[in-house]
Amino acid sequence: MAVTIEDLYRNYGILADAKDSLSQHKDAYQVILDGVKGGPKEKRLAAQFIPKFFSSFPDMADTAINAQLDLCEDEDVSIRRQAIKELPRFATGDNILRVSDILTQLLQTDDSAEFNQVTSALISIFKIDAKGTLGGLFSQILQGEDIVRERAIKFLAGKLKTLPEDVMTKEVEEYVFAETKKVLEDVTGEEFVLLMRVVSGLRVLQTVSGRQQLVELVVEQAFLEQALNPADPDTVDRLLQCTRQALPLFSKNVHSTRFITYFCEHVLPNLSELTSPAAELDIQLEVLKLLAEMSPFCGDMDKLESNLNMLFIKLLEFMPLPPEEAENGENTGNEEPKLQFSYVECLLFSFHQLGKKLPDFLIDKVDAEQLKDFKIRLQYFARGLQVYIRQLRVALQGKTGDALKTDENKIKVVALKITNNINVLIKDLFHNPPSFKSTVTLSWKPVQKAEALVAKRPSTDTMNPGATAKKPIPAQPRRDARQIYNPPSGKYSATIGNFNYGEERFMASKATQPAAAARGTSSYGRARFRKTDTSGLQSSFACDTSGQKEEEGVEDGAIEKEEIEEKAEEGEIKEEIEEEEEIEDEIEEEMGRRYRRRRNAVRGGGQVMVFGAWFRFWMHPPLSAESLLLVLLTQLKEITDEGEARHFLWFEPKVKREKERESVLMKLYRAPLVPTVAGSSGPAGRVMTQFHSVYAPLSSEPV
């Protein structure tokens, strides 16, 4: 005979009144259990009554749980939701594992309201017994159906980090890490990314040793002990996925050495043969970007010289030689080489970072012919670089707010970052010996606030209240108000007008490069890597119209509104010019403080442009014109070989008084640059005769 609503209420009353003698009324509880076989109303009542008295009948626990599970699988969605809502009340003692297992299986539902109910129930039993709940989840991840496995992993990735510390204790987090390592033995690409998100958020692993353990996990997945098959897109994609997951873990104490070594030994030699896992992905640029991001965290490397040499070879490939000229000095008609700025930025940055560990590489490890060839390529690249920087600054000057938000101007801003970075790195390589001291932020990385990077110097009053205030330095004319130096015509300049700012990847060519898209397929030992859009799980890349995107903290669109407006307001587009002005002001302030008593002496200095790179020299007074010129000549010999400064030399003295300025200008600008300089008399004429014979500047006017 079927149980009626009246039967359920009558037996509920018996149990409610029994109080301490509940265990003696098994028959009454059995009637309530039989209610799951009744109609919809009886089932809803049974779903509420069964868990209420569950703890009083331990010997009937299995029967009660099975009855509730039947209700969780009922055809009526309202009955299922009611039964699921009451499931956490069964999570006591040894039953927690079973309840967690049941709820994990119920995650496969397609009803959104029901799915949310299951999620809430799981979070509820986490607060009862976190470790037991995790046991049920991982049991289904390791042994359950694919749909259950997938949703259980997503649940962990999304909800685990929201649980409070009193739930996610150290013991619980260690259990999560241990179980995750078991799952990682056989995962798909998407599962790997999600599970790395789970373990990366564990507080117990937020230490140097913890991050090192995470890197070891990624190394195992990346198969760095095996040679790379560049023709297999799955293999290439696995390497990219693993490298992206390892990047946030690297620091000065957690090194990227093994990844960099693998890239230099196996990836760079096969760079042109790599098969992209997605048709829209520029695989070469993506690989070079990852290498550049890892390079600052490289530790001691066994094969440093050979790895540097590989980077050097790749730099030669991407930095072209200038086009040949005919005997009359005109271009032979060969097509202008492409200047692939995005690639060169990555390679130069990586070479610069590893070069710090072997600063004599270019001097002792590269033969003279190779070094000469490298300098020619650098010189040609630097010449083109200056033109592009100038054009970009002109194009962006005066742009503010919404004007900078257009796709075209976003590309120009990123292009300016790229060219400025390359310019700074090339300057370092032009030093003799090469320097590796400059610091740049890669163009696709978010710009940090200037206040966070450079603290303002405290005022005199703050440092020493009793000190005399410094005399204010009079404002100097802005450097950007001067006429911009124009390189000589011919060779490079003939095709400058062909530069297309609208290209997706910033290159001095007309070839377009689409932005990066979703990952392709991959195999991590499990089934074929399913095609899924994981763009939200790892950082995007490339200089495209959608901008750059960091995995955490940087939204789609690349250049955030605040950053754009800040650049427009503070003039960050003219960053290099402002830095030069600040340095000049500091030097002049120091000179004024130390040598104020000798204000009648010539205070001189100058700047020299060699291959588009700036070099400064400053002379402390008193200096005669002859001494000033001798110092200039000495400085030039230290920074370049004979004749290499041709076409790119100009200088300006810095003096305190206008009459002195005019006098020195006459001696420095006019005397050495007129045809009669070789026969000039006096100390200035003698010095500049030597200077003119060595460098032979072509311009007779200062810039």
CB-based contact 104:152 (threshold 8 Å): yes
Mean pLDDT of the chain: 73
Considering the domain boundaries, does residue 156 fall inside one? no
Residue 589: per-residue pLDDT: 58
Residue 583: per-residue pLDDT: 53
Residue 633: per-residue pLDDT: 53
> Which residues are within 8 A (CB) of 92 and not within 5 positions of it... i.e. 6 or more apart?
55, 128
Residue 542 corresponds to which tokens in the numbers above?
Answer: 């490339």
Looking at 570, 594, 618, the residue that finishes a domain is 594
Residue 178: per-residue pLDDT: 96
Element holding 341 (H helix, E strand)? helix 341-355
Residue 626 corresponds to which tokens in the numbers above?
Answer: 């002859």
Q: Please state the φ and ψ torsions of residue 623, each to the nearest 5 degrees.
A: -135, 135
pLDDT over 90 (residue 217): yes
End-to-end CA distance of the chain: 106
Choice among 138-147, 539-548, 607-616 with the minimum mean pLDDT: 539-548
| 171-188: pLDDT as tens digits | 999 999 999 999 999 999
Burial of 374 (0-12, 13-18, 19+ CB in 10 A): middle
* Per-position b or e across 23-32, b if 16+ CB within 10 A of its CB: eebeebbebb
Which of 53-57's residues contact partners 24+ apart within 8 Å by CB, and which partners?
Answer: 53/15, 53/22, 53/29, 54/89, 54/90, 55/92, 56/15, 56/22, 56/23, 56/29, 57/22, 57/23, 57/26, 57/29
* Per-position b or e across 296-330, b if 16+ CB within 10 A of its CB: bbbeebeebeebbbbbbebbeebbbebbeeeeeee
How wide is the angle at C-alpha 32 spanned by C-alphas 30 and 33, nearest 5°?
65
Same domain as 613, residue 588: no
Residue 592: per-residue pLDDT: 52
CB-based contact 660:602 (threshold 8 Å): yes
Considering the domain boundaries, does residue 589 fall inside one? yes
Residue 336: per-residue pLDDT: 74
Q: Across the strands, what pairs with 609?
A: 614
| 262-280: pLDDT as tens digits | 999 999 999 999 998 888 8
Same domain as 438, residue 348: yes
Residue 220: per-residue pLDDT: 93
Q: How far apart are CA 179 and CA 532, in angstroms?
A: 25
Q: How confident is the model at residue 329 (pLDDT cuts 50, 70, 90)?
A: low
Residue 398: per-residue pLDDT: 85
pLDDT over 70 (residue 208): yes
323 cis-preceded (ω within 30 degrees of 0): no
pLDDT over 60 (residue 697): no
Same domain as 669, residue 581: no
Same domain as 433, residue 307: yes
Considering the domain boundaries, does residue 657 fall inside one? yes
Considering the domain boundaries, does residue 525 fall inside one? no
Average pLDDT over residues 634-641: 47
Q: What is the DSSP letter of 92?
A: -
Same domain as 584, residue 626: no
Residue 609 lies in domain? 597-695
Higher-confidence position of 616 and 102: 102
pLDDT over 60 (residue 513): no
Same domain as 427, residue 565: yes
pLDDT over 60 (residue 642): no
Q: How confident is the model at residue 511 (pLDDT cuts 50, 70, 90)?
A: very low
Considering the domain boundaries, does residue 236 fall inside one? no
pLDDT over 90 (residue 132): yes
pLDDT over 90 (residue 311): yes
Residue 404: per-residue pLDDT: 85
Domain count, the chain: 2
Choice among 82-91, 168-177, 320-329, 549-558 with the minimum mean pLDDT: 549-558
Same domain as 666, residue 621: yes
For helices 5-18 and 40-52, angle between their N-to-C axes, nearest 10 degrees: 10
pLDDT over 60 (residue 625): no
Residue 114 corresponds to which tokens in the numbers above?
Answer: 């029901």
Same domain as 403, residue 379: yes
Query: Any idea which residue has 């980077």 for tokens?
Result: 311
| 578-606: pLDDT as tens digits | 555 555 555 555 555 544 433 333 344 45
Query: Any idea which residue has 């050979």 for tokens?
Result: 306
Q: Report the candidate in 617, 515, 87, 503 with the shortest Cα–Cα distance to residue 280.
A: 515
Looking at 594, 618, 641, the residue that finishes a domain is 594
Which of 137-141, 522-526, 554-558 tops mean pLDDT?
137-141
DSSP 418-473: HHHHHHHHHHHHHSSS---------TTSPPPPHHHHSPPPPPHHHH-TTSPPPPPP
Q: How far apart are CA 49 and CA 583, in angstroms?
A: 80
Higher-confidence position of 605 and 198: 198
Q: How far apart are CA 222 and CA 129, in angstroms?
A: 35
Q: What is the largest CA-CA distance in the chain?
A: 129
| 411-463: pLDDT as tens digits | 999 999 999 999 999 999 988 889 999 999 999 988 665 444 444 444 333 33
Same domain as 446, residue 588: yes
pLDDT over 70 (residue 19): yes
Residue 20: per-residue pLDDT: 75
Residue 443: per-residue pLDDT: 94
pLDDT over 60 (residue 302): yes
> Which residues are within 8 A (CB) of 679 and not within 5 positions of it... i.e. 6 or more apart?
685
Q: How far apart are CA 58 and CA 80, in angstroms?
A: 24
Same domain as 621, residue 487: no
Residue 314: per-residue pLDDT: 95
Residue 315: per-residue pLDDT: 94
Residue 128: per-residue pLDDT: 94
Residue 80: per-residue pLDDT: 94
DSSP 523-580: -SBSS-------TTTS---SS-TT----TTT--TTSS-HHHHHHHHHHTGGGHHHHHH
Residue 1: per-residue pLDDT: 59
Q: Report the candidate in 154, 58, 65 with the shortest Cα–Cα distance to residue 102.
A: 65
Residue 702: per-residue pLDDT: 36
Q: Report the candidate in 67, 124, 49 with the shortest Cα–Cα distance to residue 92.
A: 124
Query: Any idea which residue has 């796709």 for tokens?
Result: 407
Looking at 594, 615, 650, the residue that finishes a domain is 594
| 643-691: pLDDT as tens digits | 443 333 334 444 444 445 445 444 444 333 333 233 334 433 333 333 3
Task: Return the percentage of the chain with pLDDT > 70, whole number.
Answer: 62
Considering the domain boundaries, does residue 488 fall inside one? yes
> One-letter amino acid identity for 220?
E
The pTM of this model reads 0.64
Residue 456: per-residue pLDDT: 40
Same domain as 684, residue 590: no
CA distances from 208 to 85, 212, 249, 251, 379 (A): 42, 6, 9, 9, 43
Element holding 316 (H helix, E strand)? helix 304-318
Considering the domain boundaries, does residue 161 fall inside one? no
Residue 325: per-residue pLDDT: 60
pLDDT over 60 (residue 467): no
Same domain as 369, residue 497: yes
CB hemisphere CA count around 498 (13 angstroms): 15
CB hemisphere CA count around 419 (13 angstroms): 30
Considering the domain boundaries, does residue 428 fall inside one? yes
Q: How confident is the model at residue 25 (pLDDT cuts 50, 70, 90)?
A: confident
